[in-house]
Amino acid sequence: MKLAIAVMKHLARTFVILLLVIAGSTFLVRSAPGYFTDAREMDARYAAAARADLSEEAAREGSLLHLLASEIRGWTRGDAGLSRQYGVPVLDLLEPRLLVTGDLLLRALLLSWVLAVSVALLSSTGRHPSLLWQAPATLLMAIPTAAMATLCLLAGHGGPVLVMALLLAPRDFKFLHRTLRKAWLDSHVLEARARGIGARRLLWAHVLPSIAPQIAALASLSIVTALSALVPVEVIFNVQGLGQLAWNAALNRDLPVLLAVTMIMALAVAFSGMNPDGPDRPGEWNGV
């Protein structure tokens, strides 16, 4: 019974989040400066036709509430509306790109966790913290995602998976390092080590089970951080995924597409079980 109530609460919260995403995104896009503008207005040959098209579009969309109702109707029909830029149902644009983005996220998350866990296990077993492990992670955290992607592109080495992994790994490592060091210094672990129990057995039987909740919270934050890096990475590396689609939609005022991508991101955040305060306390995991 408690599980059913918890599931219902989670679904209700997700539904409210989606409603807020639809209303907020529609308001922000519709109220943005230059919403009813077109690059063709800069060319005298097409300016008159462009202004006529924009006037017709403004009359067709009407008020903000009318535009919001139109977007909701698109979702109730099952096609998420019609793309303003491409003139096709939004779902037709989302399906192939969703697979591309999912593959990119999965490979980047796996690589980042392999790197973070491996280095954290090596660094946390020492008696004293070492700058040898902390300095590279701090340096990588200071480099913006777009700058890292541009450097890889100019150097001709690396790709979107590597860039996203290097974005996630140092953030995951810092938290894992602190958590593992604390677990290794627990009294029962120290006592077991004094009795001669091997480090591998202690790791699997005592250390990892004790930090499982923190690892689960960190995993959800890794997903959120990866989603936030999708747009710059996919645009710079020309990856035909959701991030690039959202970027093009923003440039072309394609509200149905932009709204659909935003809702997918909101659902991913909601179902990842994100905790806004971080794994332990507010501000501890502040690398995003």
Which residue in 125, 137, 106 sits closest to 222, CA to CA? 106
Cα–Cα distance measured from residue 241 to residue 230, given in angstroms and rounded to the nearest whole number: 9
Strand, helix or coil at 287?
coil
Rounded to 5 degrees, φ, ψ at 87 are: 70, 25
**How confident is the model over 156-214, as pLDDT tens digits?**
887 899 999 988 998 888 888 888 888 877 887 777 777 777 777 777 877 888 888 88
Please answer whether residues 267 and 18 qualify as being in contact, where contact means their C-beta atoms are separated by less than 8 angstroms.
yes
What is this structure's pTM?
Answer: 0.74
| Backbone phi and psi for residue 82, each to the nearest 5 degrees, phi listed first | -110, 130
pLDDT less than 70: residues of the chain: 33-47, 50-51, 53-64, 66-68, 70-71, 74-75, 78-79, 126-131, 273-288
Q: Please report the pLDDT score of residue 110 as a whole number.
A: 94
CA distances from 235 to 75, 106, 140, 232, 246 (A): 27, 18, 21, 5, 10
Query: Is there a contact between 30 and 67 (Cβ–Cβ < 8 Å)?
Result: yes
Tokens representing 52? 């006529």
Alpha helix stretches (DSSP H) within 32-130: 47-61, 64-77, 90-124
Return the pLDDT at 108.
Answer: 93
- In Å, what is the CA distance from 172 to each residue of 136, 147, 210? 13, 20, 17
CA 127/CA 201 separation, integer angstroms:
19
**Cβ 93 vs Cβ 100: under 8 Å:** no
Residue-level pLDDT at 119: 87
- Position 107 scores a pLDDT of 94
The reported pLDDT for the residue numbered 242 is 92
CB 84 within 8 A of CB 53: no
Domains of the chain: 2-77 (no CATH), 97-271 (1.10.3720.10)
Quote the pLDDT of residue 258. 85
Torsion of CA 192, 214, 142, 246, to 10 degrees: 150
Res 281: pLDDT: 43
Gap between the Cα atoms of 124 and 139, Å rounded: 19
Q: Give 82's strand partners.
A: 89
